[in-house]
Amino acid sequence: MLSRLALGGGLLVVLCATQGAQADTSLVATGSASTGYSTNILGVPATDDVNAAQQPEADGFSDLAPGLAAAYEHRRGIHNLLYVFGARLFLRNSEANSYNNTLSYQNILATSARGSLRMGAGFNSGRVNGFDQAGNEVVGEGDLLPDGDVEFIAYNASLSYRHQLTQNLTGETSIVGGKFIPTSGVEQSGETTNIEHRIRVERGFRRHLVGVDFRTGFNKQEVPDLQRSLTLGPGAFWTWNVNASFSTNASLGLDVIGEYPRLARGLTVPRASAAVTYSHERGRASIGWTRGVAANLFGGDTTVNTQYFTNVTMPLPTKRPMVAGVAAAYATGDIIDVTLDQARGTTERASADLSIAMELTRAWQLGLRLETSKQTQNDVLADMMQFEAITSQTQGLVVLTGRFPAAIAAQVPRRSSDRVESGASDFGGGQTTGSANGGAAATGGQQQ
């Protein structure tokens, strides 16, 4: 699979090179190198049992993440292809080393004067230890991360079509799917398959955006028994530009979860979100709350998650450009056994991140980062595997990131619900973030 994707990427680069002056292409080498120290390299629980198989152990480490990015922009679309190899190498405990290979593709195409098509695909494989992130394509915000080491393979793909129905009314349909396959190291989790389809209609005003959506999701996972669940429900959303700097957004919906294919033993779960954002040309801050249904790869099948988060990014008053970032999040979840129509466990995860990044040149940055995480998983049913653990880790890093050459063709823009952008085009430009081992960028902390 990886070889096929690599061949496809090579053909894309060749195609880019053969397009005339109307196309803008680039092939850029990217890289990240860091050194740091972790208080719990395997992410195992602290215990007073001297006979326990594993005790928390601290060690220094180095991260390496070389990559190659290809970008191709023509009159009607943008294509991005990225490959990154990430490795975390410990000083004394080489058996805890982790690595991952990530290959991802994104594009956006203007199919007509009113329509645009987005496509994405990703492949991720490797070995992670403790709280080492497996990559943004694999692990979601608030997910519990495994104790010890896990080897895995993961695939994902997405497709969406957006069409401007009238001057102010827009419709969108999208489908997202993924598969996660742990090949060793996780006894309580098996293969996971997720597919979600969503239909969305929105109405734009000068300072407001309102709309409705409906989603249908399918999840299949062994935890440890085979569970297949179906999630469906309507929702509504609203974004309001309070003034030139402040904006708010909120959503409200209802999900029905049950066994597939009959929705037997159905469980109704409200979903909602709310956030306030301050945006400035040199800084950004947000605070918010979300509640919804998701699949937790390591913690269980269907999980009802509640998360509180805050992010602040601001420039520092220094001669050389420097940016400071603070991010914090706290999430709780109920692991739902759809076959029994009840919760079989609970989860908690808290994290905080402080970073400072200095711009050395246009393409190179030097960063300092301090992050801490704490998580708890508690299975409560007597006939389920008993597991009660509190696991924590703190680590500090010095990170150097860059690319060569500095110039890069246009990037596929990110969708943002922070503000109502009147008349904004999908080709209005975007930004990218990068990091070693799939974590958050040194300059920005966590993305929400």
Q: Give the pLDDT score at 275.
A: 96
Please, what are the averages of pLDDT over each run of 10 residues along the chain (448 residues)? Answer: 44 44 83 94 73 78 94 93 93 87 95 95 82 52 59 91 95 94 68 91 94 92 74 94 94 87 74 94 92 71 87 90 95 77 78 95 95 80 52 93 90 80 43 30 31
- Hey, what amino acid is at 66? P
What does the DSSP assignment read for 141-201?
A: TT----SSEEEEEEEEEEEEEEEE-SSSEEEEEEEEEEEEEEEES-TT---EEEEEEEEEE
Measure the CA–CA gap between 22 and 81, rounded to whole angstroms: 20
Dihedral of CA atoms 419, 422, 426, 428 in degrees, nearest 10, equals: -90
Q: In this structure, are strands 322-337 and 283-296 parallel, antiparallel, or unpaired? A: unpaired
Measure the CA–CA gap between 317 and 136, rounded to whole angstroms: 32
299 close to 349: Cβ distance less than 8 angstroms:
no
**Longest CA–CA separation in the chain, Å:** 69
Residue with the two structure tokens 């070889």: 3
Q: Give the pLDDT score at 230.
A: 85
Q: Give the pLDDT score at 325.
A: 96
Q: Give the pLDDT score at 49.
A: 65
Which token pair is 66? 């070389």
Dihedral of CA atoms 37, 39, 41, 42 in degrees, nearest 10, equals: -170
Q: In this structure, are strands 364-379 and 115-129 parallel, antiparallel, or unpaired? A: unpaired
Q: Give the pLDDT score at 229.
A: 82
Helix-strand-coil split of the chain, %, nearest 5: 5, 60, 35
What is the rounded end-to-end Cα distance, in angstroms, of the chain?
30
Q: What is the DSSP letter of 445?
A: B
Q: Where are the domains of the chain?
A: 2-438
Measure the CA–CA gap between 330 and 161, rounded to whole angstroms: 33
Cis bond upstream, residue 405 (ω within 30): yes
Q: Give the pLDDT score at 78.
A: 95
Backbone phi, psi, residue 295, to 5°: -100, 125
Measure the CA–CA gap between 229 and 222, rounded to whole angstroms: 11
212 close to 234: Cβ distance less than 8 angstroms:
yes
Q: What is the CATH number of domain 2-438?
A: 2.40.160
- Give Cα separations from 388 to 8, 49, 145, 276, 344 (angstroms): 46, 14, 14, 35, 12
Measure the CA–CA gap between 351 and 161, rounded to whole angstroms: 35
Measure the CA–CA gap between 336 and 254, rounded to whole angstroms: 16
For the chain, the C-alpha Rg in angstroms (whole number) is 22
Backbone phi, psi, residue 189, to 5°: -135, 145
